[in-house]
Structure 1
Amino acid sequence: MSAHVDPDDLAPDDSAPDDISPDEAADAWDAPLVGPADLSSPPSGRSIRRYTAAAANQRSGASIGQLLNDVYYAAISMAIGIGMALGIAGTLREALPKPPAGGVDAGLSLPSLVTVMVVGLAGILLSLAGRLGPVGAGGAEAAWWLPLPVDRRGLLRPASRRLPLLAAGAGAVVVALFDTGLLAADDPARVVRAALGAALGAAVVVLAAGVGQTLLVTRRATALVGDLVLAAAPLLALAGALAGWTLDVLPVAPAWLLGVLAAVAALLAWTLDRRLDRIPSRSLRESGSVANHAVGAVVSLDSRELGRALTDGAARTRRRRSVRFRGVSGAPAALVVADVMVLLRSTRHLVQIAVAALVPVLVALVPQLAGPVGFLIAVLLGGYVAMTATGEGARRAEMAPVLDRLLPLPAGQVRRWRMVVPGVVMLLWSIVAFGAVGVWAGDLPTWLALGIASAPVWAGAAIRSAYRPAPDWAGPLVSTPMGALPTGVASVLSRGPDVVILGMIPVAIAILLGSVLPVLLLVQMVLSVIVVAVSSASRTMMDRMNDALGQDSAQPTGAVRR
């Protein structure tokens, strides 16, 4: 940017030579005083991006052999994961009862349920696309690239392609696993067509979210639409069961529909590419920040940080109205009301709880799944998903324990009061889930009693998982497919699921037996009390033992302990 001076605004300079012509004086006044004289066109965004990548590669110190080793490691890990998923799906298919010979007269068929699950996964994909951007520039990209006077299309083009390609690959793998592993499809051509249709559909969903971002559609609105699609999936299944809608196989798109999906994906990709420069810088920075936060949480295996990234990424920046907490009359009420407000302001967690409550109901509607194995998986998986949604207030308190430390309550009482909201929510969830199991078993009151007795286990697990310590990165590291991780990361991640495994033993035995014995109900009550006591403790027994060993080692030789 050059600065020019108007000669009319200045007095004549007496020191100037007398032999300068008027034209030369005018040219001198028009010359730029600041900046280079060569005002050539700026480089393209593509060249800036390539120069940055080349500079980073030159300073990274990685060789081609190391790159190929990482690619080989990732491919082998992916192949092992897919093989394990196929084995688990095949084992589950063999454990399920065979479908009725005359077809499904009432309820849903297994292919119908898988189709509804695919619709729910599409909602999850749209919600994630809205929360993550889908186009963003975070960290150094936002700091160095966005202020440059270059076209942003060349800068943002790789970022706009990354998430659609990732979604297409994940969609193809998941649908292929459903078709081959759970539904036992034996036609390779049919499986390939199903995977191709899923890949194109997933790419269309993410590209549509990207086009919406260029049209200034907020990320919160896109995520809300995805959450509503997810919530509509189990309702669609219930409506299909009541209407007698059933499928014999998983629907596969014909060749003409695959062509239409490919054309729509190409049109959306072209539209997104042409409109990349219309995305505001603020939207790019926010999306990039959320994406970096989520990637860091996944790499470090921190589910709490991942939940914070996905929740805060689509949260409302301003409140529409303020609520007067007239019912808050003390410290316990303040904790409970704070947890209730955090839960009510998170649409994602509300949808998560509702969908998890309907999972056992859907299992009861599928004759091929309505058995001990199906109900056991549905209760444990649905309960764990719902439980993770109820502990958002405790997770935030663990991250910023300002309210916990300001209140005149011991740490143990704070954690017990934090269990109120998860306990009430999981009590309602247990009534719905165990009600479905009770209808299947023909003994509704006893199963409801077992569900009510097991609700404190979920509440204790939610609080124990929320207040778990962070991994010790200062200790020795272990090489894993996710990178170098601390040696004690498994013990940290197990806090929460460990009490679920312990506290749900009577429930698992009752579901496998098909009846609730009085001794199982009594044992469940005892285990619920133990889980609540363990989860409300601010320090574990292992922490106390480590402190005692540390004090013993710090004791000087010959000193007498009192």
Structure 2
Amino acid sequence: MSKKSRKLIRSTPVAGEAEAEVEVEAVVPAAPERTFFFLPDAPPLEVDEHELHGLMKLWRHGRATRSIGQVLQDSYVMLFSVVMIGAMVVSVVLRAQGNMAGCSTDACASGRLLVPTAMVLACFAVALGVARLFGPVLASAAEGFWLMDAPISRRRLLRGRLVLPLLLSFLVAGLGTALVGALSGLAWAQVLAWSCAAALGSAGLVSLAASEQTRERVVVVKVLQAVFAAAALAVLLVVVSVAAGWLPTTFVAVAEPATWLFAGVAAAGLIGMVVLLQLTVARLEEIRRARLVSGGSLVAGMQGAMFALDFGLIRDILVERRMAEKGHVKPTRGRGLGLAALVWRDVERLKRQPSAFLGLGMSLFVPYAVDALRMSQLNPFISGLALVAGLVPFLGSMRVLSRTGGLARTFPFKTAQLRTATMAVPAMLALVWGLAATPAFIGIASTGADRSIISGLSVALVTSLAGLMGAVRWVTAKKVDYQTPMMATSSGALPPGLIFNLFRGLDMVVLITAPLILQLPAYWSLVIGLIVFWALRGSFNMADLQAEQEQAKRELAEAKEGRGEKQKIPRPGR
């Protein structure tokens, strides 16, 4: 018998043993213990929004290690600076009051009334624009994530968010208008009437923007913003026309009716603010969470830029938001070769963004308004600052190439060539601005001319050059380098370049127009302007010089390797 057969016989069970086996029941596993249960259909617990808001404040501010007194004690230098600057402003205002009191003509009286009026209308337009941009009711991303979806009343949480926008609009508009009115030479009662009208009117318009936000509407706010901006521009036109003697001054030189008119505007603004606030608070539940969070994210981004005092970055954030709302543009084919192609792209942007001409046009009325107020000596400086603000929107290409070094290195041009090309279109606009503003620097007021035609033309061109260089300086300023050694201050350690961010653009205008203010010949300002142009176009850029030096070293090393020949080593003799 084979081994395989013996294994099969052994593995077969015997019949008797099979019958003796007892059937074993299958063991049923025990059921696992339940650890999760669905909540019963019970109403949620009521949450007091006031207590929740207090808890949020405790989380945010409850871990402070210093009291307000300690912070103020450490910031005594800042407080001293504020007091000193305030004293200087008060001194300037009182001196302007004394100088303007000596001008008793109808043109001066109309200018004293119309310039603060234009400031009031401009405050209304700015208040509506800022309120529409941010909300004005907003919430942070964290609050929108876990708080706005909770079963609580949004009204009690959001109604406190209206206090800060209203307070800011009230203070900024009121203080700005009061400063302009005091510098214009208004009486203190008139300054109070104009500033109250600007403050209460701006607060009322912010309440209107909040009411429209609850309905997800922006058409009314946009229309009112355009109307107030156009009205401010029209008032400046009237100022120029009256100063030039083109319009009679009797209908605008009467101060008593204008004072009562603006007192009525202040009362109407107060009533409108109260009524619109009640409507807004009643409809706060209707604001969508996405609308609240979008304003909060914009504020968060701008807070970081404000910490670095980088106003250029703030403008970049606003431009990005506006382009995101626009969605898309129609692509066009470029023209030219080399640097001419970059210049043509800037020309195309003029057609794509016609709204930028509004700011440039408003800056053109500044020298005429300043001349109407008989402040001819400070006209180049003030008009140069206005031109800086008007030319910044036209320097988008320079901004991108200055902040994006990788993109600039893809062009086969040096930094000086790129900046000169991107400066071409704004330079032409500045030249046109200077020619159009020449009558203001000659003197159009009814009291007579201040300069000759040649002198006025040269001052206007120097002012346009100062505005262009200030805008280029503002756009091309470098970021704050936090790797450099810090500077010890009373507020802590600060990088040295952080403070100078406040004065970029302003420094170039002061440097170029200083000889004109000191009544020196205009060619001194022209020479300084050419030196500033040579410096700002990147003619002496250390980074470019180092890169060129390294490139020259590499080319020299490659040339040496190419000229090298193989050296034959003779076989050693035996």
TM tier relative to shorter chain = 0.7 to 0.9
Would you say 1:266 and 2:274 are equivalent positions?
yes
SS of 1:237's partner is helix
Counterpart CA distance in 2 for 1:394 and 1:266 is: 47
2:388 to 362, 384, 390: 384
| Residue aligning to 2:536 | 535
How far did 1:357 drift? 0.8
How far did 1:126 drift? 1.8
Over 3 Å counting, the alpha-carbon distance change for 1:526 and 1:113 in structure 2 is same
Would you say 1:278 and 2:286 are equivalent positions?
yes
Pairwise mapping of residues 20-99 of structure 1 onto structure 2 (< 5 A)? 33-35=37-39, 39-41=43-45, 43-63=47-67, 65-66=69-70, 81-96=85-100, 98-99=102-103
Counterpart CA distance in 2 for 1:377 and 1:334 is: 34
The code of the aligned residue for 2:237 comes to L
Counterpart CA distance in 2 for 1:428 and 1:157 is: 49
Contact kept, 8 Å, 2:486 with 2:496, in 1: the verdict is yes
Over 3 Å counting, the alpha-carbon distance change for 1:300 and 1:104 in structure 2 is same
| Residue aligning to 1:206 | 206
The TM-score, its normalising length taken from structure 1, stands at 0.76
Pairwise mapping of residues 517-536 of structure 1 onto structure 2 (< 5 A)? 520-521=522-523, 523-536=524-537
Over 3 Å counting, the alpha-carbon distance change for 1:432 and 1:206 in structure 2 is same
1:399 to 398, 403, 428: 403
How far did 1:253 drift? 5.7
Over 3 Å counting, the alpha-carbon distance change for 1:206 and 1:141 in structure 2 is same
| Paired positions, count | 502
SS of 2:336's partner is coil
The code of the aligned residue for 1:119 comes to L
| Residue aligning to 1:499 | 508
| Residue aligning to 1:162 | 164
Counterpart CA distance in 2 for 1:352 and 1:276 is: 35
| Residue aligning to 2:359 | 352
Over 3 Å counting, the alpha-carbon distance change for 1:237 and 1:191 in structure 2 is closer
| Residue aligning to 2:469 | 460
Over 3 Å counting, the alpha-carbon distance change for 1:274 and 1:484 in structure 2 is farther
The code of the aligned residue for 1:246 comes to V
Contact kept, 8 Å, 1:387 with 1:459, in 2: the verdict is yes
Counterpart CA distance in 1 for 2:383 and 2:476 is: 24
| Residue aligning to 2:377 | 373
Contact kept, 8 Å, 1:331 with 1:407, in 2: the verdict is no
The TM-score, its normalising length taken from structure 2, stands at 0.74
Identical counterparts, % of pairs = 22
Range 160-169 or range 400-409, more displaced: 400-409
Counterpart CA distance in 2 for 1:238 and 1:381 is: 19
**Which runs of 5 or more residues in structure 1 are unaligned?**
1-14, 16-31, 549-562
Contact kept, 8 Å, 1:339 with 1:394, in 2: the verdict is no
How far did 1:137 drift? 1.6
The code of the aligned residue for 2:306 comes to V
2:297 to 289, 298, 301: 289
Counterpart CA distance in 2 for 1:527 and 1:194 is: 41
| Residue aligning to 1:25 | none
| Residue aligning to 2:308 | 300
SS of 2:106's partner is coil
The code of the aligned residue for 2:229 comes to L
Aligned CA-pair RMSD: 4.0
| Residue aligning to 1:329 | 336
Counterpart CA distance in 2 for 1:346 and 1:285 is: 28
Over 3 Å counting, the alpha-carbon distance change for 1:58 and 1:260 in structure 2 is same
Range 251-260 or range 416-425, more displaced: 251-260
How far did 1:275 drift? 1.7
| Residue aligning to 1:551 | none
How far did 1:159 drift? 1.9
Contact kept, 8 Å, 2:117 with 2:235, in 1: the verdict is no
| Residue aligning to 1:557 | none
| Residue aligning to 2:232 | 233
How far did 1:168 drift? 1.0
Over 3 Å counting, the alpha-carbon distance change for 1:67 and 1:371 in structure 2 is closer
SS of 2:325's partner is coil
Over 3 Å counting, the alpha-carbon distance change for 1:155 and 1:58 in structure 2 is same
| Residue aligning to 1:470 | 479
The code of the aligned residue for 2:235 comes to L
Counterpart CA distance in 1 for 2:385 and 2:154 is: 44
